Chain A
Amino acid sequence: MASRLSTSNRAGWLMALPGFGLIVLFVILPFVLAFALSFTNQRLVSPNPTEWVGLSNYRALLGVGVLHLEPERDDAGNVVTDENGAPEYPRLRSFTRNNPDYPHLAGMSEWFFFDRGEGRTYVLASDVVFMRAIVNTLIFVAVVAPVQAGLALVLALLINQRLRGINLFRAIYFMPVVVSIVVVSLLWRFIYAEEGLLNNLLASLTFGAFDGPDWLGNPRTALGSVIAMSVWQAVGFHMVIWLSGLQTISPTLYEAGAIEGASRWQTFRYITWPGLRNTAVLILIVITMQAFALFAQIDVMTNGGPLDSTQTIVFQAVERGYGRQDISSGSTISVFLFVLVLSISLLQRWLTRERR
Chain B
Amino acid sequence: MSVIDPSNRGLQLATRYVVLTLIAVIFAFPLVFMLVSSLKPDDQLLRDTASLRAFLPVGDLSLQNYYAAFDRAPVGTFILNSVLVTGVTVALSLFVCSMAAFAFVFLRWSGRDLVLGVILATLIVPFETIAIPLLLVVSKLPWIGLDGFSLGWLNTYRVQIVPFIADGLTIFLFVQYFKDLPGDLAEAARVEGASNWQIYRKVVMPLAGPVLATAAILKFLVMYNQYLWPLMVVQEEGRRPVMVGLQYFFQLNRAWGEIMAYLSMITVPVLAFYLYMQRSFIASIASTGVKG
Q: Which residues of A pack against B, CB within 8 Å?
A: 1-2, 4-16, 18-23, 25-31, 33-34, 37, 42, 44-45, 155, 158, 161, 163, 166-167, 169-184, 186-188, 190-191, 195-197, 200-201, 203-204, 232, 236-237, 240-241, 243-245, 261, 263-264, 278-279, 282-283, 289, 292-293, 295-296, 299-300, 314, 317-318, 321-322, 327, 330-331, 333-335, 337-338, 341-342, 345
Contact = CB atoms under 8 A, between A and B. Distances in A.
Interface in B11-45: 13, 16-17, 19-21, 23-24, 26-28, 30-31, 33-34
A179 B242 CA distance: 13
A169 B164 CA distance: 33
B110 A31 contact: no
Contacts, number: 299
B143 to A, nearest CB: 13
B107 A5 contact: yes
A190 B122 contact: no
A179 B24 CA distance: 16
Interface stretch (B64-72, B123-131, B206-214): B123-131
Nearest to B196: A11
A13 B110 CA distance: 9
Contact of A12 (B30, B33, B34, B109): B109
30 contacts: A5-B106, A5-B108, A15-B102, A19-B165, A20-B119, A26-B134, A30-B134, A31-B133, A34-B132, A37-B136, A169-B24, A172-B27, A178-B274, A180-B266, A181-B227, A186-B246, A186-B249, A186-B250, A187-B260, A204-B50, A240-B282, A283-B289, A289-B124, A293-B126, A293-B128, A296-B228, A314-B228, A318-B132, A322-B132, A341-B124
B144 interface: no
B267 A179 contact: yes
B256 interface: yes
Contacts of A155: 23
Given A197-B54, A296-B227, A327-B136, A11 B125 contact: no
The interface centre, meaning the residue of B31, B97, B133, B200 with most chain A CB atoms within 10 A of its CB, is B133
Nearest to A330: B132
A158 to B, nearest CB: 6
A223 to B, nearest CB: 19
A279 to B, nearest CB: 7
B126 A322 contact: no
Contacts of A1: 183
A4 B130 CA distance: 40
Contact of B23 (A158, A171, A318, A322): A158
A335 B132 CA distance: 11
A178 B246 contact: no
A327 B133 contact: yes
Given A31-B133, A317-B131, A179 B139 contact: no
B260 to A, nearest CB: 8
B118 to A, nearest CB: 7
B227 A2 contact: no
Interface of B: 1-2, 13, 16-17, 19-21, 23-24, 26-28, 30-31, 33-34, 46, 49-51, 54, 96-97, 99-100, 102-104, 106-112, 115, 118-119, 122, 124-137, 139, 162-168, 171, 183, 187, 190, 196-197, 200, 221, 224-225, 227-228, 231-232, 243, 246, 249-250, 256, 259-260, 263, 266-267, 270-271, 274-275, 278, 281-282, 285-291
A163 B16 contact: yes
Given A19-B96, A179-B31, A241 B288 contact: yes
A39 B20 CA distance: 54
A183 B244 CA distance: 10
Given A18-B96, A237-B285, 18 more contacts: A4-B187, A8-B108, A9-B109, A18-B99, A19-B119, A26-B166, A29-B137, A173-B23, A175-B28, A179-B271, A180-B224, A186-B263, A282-B289, A295-B128, A296-B227, A317-B131, A331-B133, A341-B124
Contacts of A341: 124, 126, 129
Contact of B263 (A9, A181, A183, A331): A183
A16 B126 contact: no
Contacts of B224: 180
A317 B127 CA distance: 12
Nearest to B139: A44
A306 to B, nearest CB: 16
B218 to A, nearest CB: 11
Contact of B104 (A16, A282, A299): A16
B263 A187 contact: yes
B119 A174 contact: no
Contacts of A203: 50
For the complex of A and B, list the 6 residue pairs with the smallest distance between their C-beta atoms, beginning with the closest. Answer: A12-B109, A19-B100, A321-B132, A330-B132, A241-B289, A1-B183
Contacts of B96: 18-19, 22
A181 B225 contact: yes
A13 B100 CA distance: 9
A197 B168 CA distance: 41
